[in-house]
Amino acid sequence: GDSVTQMEGPVTLSEEAFLTINCTYTATGYPSLFWYVQYPGEGLQLLLKATKADDKGSNKGFEATYRKETTSFHLEKGSVQVSDSAVYFCALSELSGGSNYKLTFGKGTLLTVNP
């Protein structure tokens, strides 16, 4: 079945450092790819997404490019802030019978940014 593998954390960075969180996937079809973020005590929020190969999703300074040849969707940010401290989830979405979509999540990566 479909699966998502993301780098294990925790990741600890200083403010203004460069961030990369690796994500690779296995899917039978042509999934859409997502990054969700979970701040402490809250539910998940969509951070960015890409729906086809070579698409780049971006939001709040974060970027990720859909790489079909390497089945990857790595999350990057050039300069992290303390407020970016959260758990980041990579996910894929594929049709599951008819027109129904299901999300498959990675295990999450905890990011802590220190001032």
Nearer to another protein, 45 or 81 (CB): 45
Query: Is there binding between residue 99 and another protein (CB under 8 A)?
Result: yes
User: 17 or 110: whose CB is closer to another protein?
Assistant: 110
Among 12-20, 22-30, 45-53, 54-62, which window interacts with another protein (CB under 8 A)? 45-53
**Residue number, 99 or 115, with CB nearest to another protein:** 99
Entry field: residues in the chain: 115
Per DSSP, the residues of 15-84 read TT--EEE-EEEE-SS--EEEEEEE-TTS-EEEEEEE-STT-EEEETTEEEE-BTTTTB--EEESS--GGG
Residue 64 forms beta bridges with which residues? 57, 75
Partner residues linked to 58 by β-bridges? 63
The site string for another protein over 63-92 (x = CB under 8 A, - otherwise) reads: --------------------------x---
d(C-alpha 81, C-alpha 102), whole Å = 32
Which of residues 40 and 115 has its CB atom nearest to another protein in the complex?
Answer: 40
- The reply to whether 97 sits near another protein by the rule CB under 8 A is yes
Asked if 49 interacts with another protein (CB under 8 A), we say yes
